[in-house]
Amino acid sequence: MAGLAAPAALAQRDITLAAASRGAVLLVALLTIIDLIDGSLGMFTSVGVLMASVSVPLSVTPSQLWATVLAPPLLLIGVLTLAVVIDPAAVAPEGMPESAGRFGRVLAGTVDRGITLAVAETFTLAALGLRRLALR
């Protein structure tokens, strides 16, 4: 199989957790802003969080793998905070009063997107496991 590199050779191309986090935040922020064009969060934001949740553990140095477990909740809360700052009405789960403040909207949005968070965390753990297996 010509062209396939050994895991040790691929590990030389790893980036730091800080660089991977900046890339993930940039990706998710861009997709969130695109998603806010219609006035609400939707599929773009969820897909962005899922993509970032997989790409961060696959790209960091082996010594920083376990810190990537925190990526999905931090990304989701960051996305919701960005959306609430830009357009508070964008994060309005069903039954939420119009008078709800920013913190309430972020909290309700996190609960409302619990499936996205659970799937993102599962993807992160799966990528982390695959990465650990590849490093053996």
Q: Where are the domains of the chain?
A: 14-135
With the CA atoms of 84, 45, 30 and 61 taken in that order, what torsion angle do they form, in degrees rounded to the nearest 10? Answer: 110
pLDDT in tens, 101-122: 889 889 988 888 889 999 999 9
Neighbours of 9 (CB within 10 A): 9
pTM confidence score: 0.80
pLDDT in tens, 17-27: 889 989 999 99
